[in-house]
A and B are shown apart, each in its own frame.
Chain A
Amino acid sequence: MKIVLLGATRGMGRSLARLCARRGDAVALLGRERDEIARSARDLVALGAGAVAQGICDLDDPARFGPALAAAADALGGLDAVVLSAADFARPADLDADPARAVRLATRNFAHSIAFLEAARVRLLAHGGGTLCVFSSVAGDRARKATGIYGATKAGLSHYAVSLDLRDRPRGLRVVLVKPGFVRTGMTADLPVPPFAGEPDAVARRVLRAIDRGWPVVYAPPIWRLVMLVIRTLPRFVMRRAEF
């Protein structure tokens, strides 16, 4: 497989890239810090990647999305899948005092994420189709006190991904929408660990299976599908009181 990832220097994206490398896939790493990408590339080479390409691409800089994807596809000599796992995170309380930060969060996680996925969609269709894998979140499934702007961007992203799947599947585009529950990565390192917390490597194993088989939606860890089923049915007066 020839796979391009934005957001694979850390977290679940890193785990996914390493799984691909171990089975010999050709991997292109996109990211915003040259040194970090270079170090991660060394890791993927050592693990056995068939080829490793590197490119600069920052969610803050949408003008670079198209060229970065084109360069990655050229370096790999083709393109089978694009993964977006890069995202920003902030709790509502962190944003109260800093409206500019709130705009940045909304822009990166929604507007610019969609711009990236649009660029990737165009690229994949130009190659005759392929898989577009989007990391959204269970936070987008139901509004809670703690989900705030972050959850709203993920709700929007999920909506977009499903719509894309409905529209472009006949043209060979397969969309894999990933909805992680709480996963122990750097993003959540400062948060209290709730029940059903997952590990990035286990999530990545599940996501790769979804990419290989074309599953449209994956909850990871899988138990979160059930958890969200319950949370979605809770009436609003309960959500008002709930502290999660």
Chain B
Amino acid sequence: MTRLAGWGGVPAVDARERVGESLPEVCRPASLTRGLGRSYGDASLPARTGAIVASTRLGDRVLAFDRVAGVLRAEAGFRLSQLEELTRPAGWVSPVVPGTRHVTLGGMVASDIHGKNHHVAGCFGAHVRSLVLQVADGRELEVGPDRESELFAATLGGMGLTGHILEVEVALLAIACPWLVIEVEPAPDLGALVARLRAASRTWPYTVAWADALSRGARLGRGIVIKGRWAEPGEAPATSPLHSRVDSRLAVPCNLPSWVLGPTSVRIFDALFYRAHCWSAGRRVVHPDRFFHALDSIRDWNRLYGARGFVQHQSVLPDEAGDERIVRYFETITRHSGASFLTVVKDCGAEGRGLLSFPRPGISVALDLPMRGAATQALVDALNRHVLDAGGRIYLAKDALTRREDFAAMEPRLAAFDAVRRLWDPERRLRSALSARLLGDPA
């Protein structure tokens, strides 16, 4: 038995993990497949202790890379870090990337991840041309936008509940130059932050904002807006950016005692983080990893939160709900002195094809919350109340504490997703701790 947990460390479940190079074989008896466990909560954990979970970490072969058309096909355990190393020198990058390079293609599909370019590029699933899926009865199917399209749509953002993803084929993004031009603009308060973020997205392909979740009053939600685009040749060094070592040297060696990330030290960490990454105002050319995966420079940073772990909460508040709603959302965060050290704000673009995918037009807010039992649950409940009132939704890849009734109320799309599962997996062989908690699956 192996103790499995997501990136936040809570909850943790003892499971029988199957690891091997041959994914069809590894997945067949499993109730769930996981990648590198970079989802934060319980999405990659089995519904009960002792259940079989397949790990794709050794199933990472490239099956084809068309350097002219920019199309890559690989086994589901192929990692984004490997993809970047292979394709970037050839002038291609992943069309959508998350904040870490340590994720698998399978995980990127199952969470239908979004990135700083969501407002122009949509989710990862929008670029997936085809998948090989092993469904609950063991059959292997090729699915895609025009093949078993309902099953395909349910698999994008379906958190592994529709089948084991064995292979992924994705259309890459062409770049002229492998460096990033970025511009950083400070914002004195939340209103300015959101306004500047939206304005930036009208002209920049990559945008995001970091807010200080501890300042109150007039400075509530102050922060910085970061914008980026791939450089034009001539604007950047002629050399290609070194591929950062996957095992970065700066590491957190063990779990820290849990007082370390108390409010005061969060403030210090915040200050250090902004400094360390020279996110001072202005325009410059940077290494793509620094822009896309800043946190990867500190290996195992999740250990900063100690053995009690932490949870993430990410929601999107629709534009129709008005900006006043965002202010009240932030007030709730600061009132609970939740001590989130990084609050990430992003304007989302149009909804994609995935039946349960997270993004929809609106403002997304993501926080890290140190796990403090009932207090953390109360904060998540309070935040979800805002999400419900605003007609928004939460991101399953980041969730650990949302209640089933709240989720059901947020997700009118659940019926369509359930219908697909009833068709392909009537016995609910595929399930997870998340689906037991939020979808009422048996443990």
Contacts and interface: CB of A to CB of B under 8 A. Distances in A.
Given A10-B58, A185-B58, A186-B58, A46 B64 contact: yes
A46 B62 contact: yes
A36 interface: yes
A43 B19 contact: no
Contacts of A186: 19-21, 58
Interface string A197-212: 0000110000000000
B240 to A, nearest CB: 15
A42 B64 contact: yes
Nearest to B78: A43
A185 B17 CA distance: 13
Interface string A1-33: 000000001110010000000000000000000
Contacts of A11: 21
Given A36-B22, A186-B20, A43 B58 contact: no
Given A10-B58, A185-B58, A46 B63 contact: yes
A13 B377 CA distance: 47
Interface string B230-255: 00000000000000001100000000
B61 A39 contact: yes
B34 to A, nearest CB: 14
B65 A46 contact: yes
A10 B25 CA distance: 14
Nearest to A39: B61
B279 to A, nearest CB: 32
Given A42-B63, A47-B62, A14 B20 contact: no
Contacts of A46: 62-65, 86
Contacts of A202: 247
A10 B64 contact: no
Interface string B77-95: 0000000001000000000
A230 interface: no
Contacts of A10: 20-21, 58
A113 interface: no
Given A46-B86, A47-B86, A40 B19 contact: no
A242 interface: no
Contacts of A43: 61-63
Interface string A135-160: 00000000000000000000000000
A97 interface: no
A9 B21 contact: yes
A193 to B, nearest CB: 9
Interface centre among B22, B58, B61 (most CB of A within 10 A): B61
A238 interface: no
A42 B20 contact: no
A39 B220 CA distance: 55
Contacts of A226: none
A189 B18 CA distance: 8
Contact of A40 (B18, B61, B246): B61
A5 B17 CA distance: 29
B140 to A, nearest CB: 13
Given A46-B86, A47-B86, A189 B19 contact: yes
Contacts of A39: 61, 63
Interface in A175-198: 185-186, 189
Given A46-B86, A47-B86, A189 B61 contact: no
Nearest to B90: A48
Nearest to A43: B61
**Most chain-B CB neighbours within 10 Å: which of A10, A43, A47, A185?**
A43
Interface string A119-139: 000000000000000000000
Contacts of B65: 46
Nearest to B87: A46
B337 to A, nearest CB: 38
A189 B64 contact: no
A10 B61 CA distance: 10
A11 B21 CA distance: 8
Interface in B1-36: 17-22
Contacts of B18: 189
Contacts of B22: 36
Nearest to B60: A43
Contacts of A14: 21
Nearest to A201: B246
B266 to A, nearest CB: 33
Contacts of B247: 202
Contacts of B58: 10, 185-186
Contacts of B17: 189
A66 to B, nearest CB: 28
Contacts of A40: 61
Nearest to B55: A189
Contacts of A185: 58
B62 A42 contact: yes
A197 to B, nearest CB: 13
A223 to B, nearest CB: 15
A107 to B, nearest CB: 24
A42 B74 CA distance: 10
Contacts of A47: 62, 86
Nearest to B66: A46
A11 B65 CA distance: 22
A230 B316 CA distance: 57
Interface string A34-71: 00100110110011000000000000000000000000
Given A186-B21, A189-B19, A201-B246, 4 more contacts: A39-B63, A43-B62, A185-B58, A186-B58
Q: Which 6 A-B pairs have the closest CB atoms?
A: A43-B61, A46-B62, A189-B19, A46-B65, A10-B21, A186-B20
6 contacts: A14-B21, A36-B21, A42-B63, A46-B62, A185-B58, A189-B20
Interface of A: 9-11, 14, 36, 39-40, 42-43, 46-47, 185-186, 189, 201-202
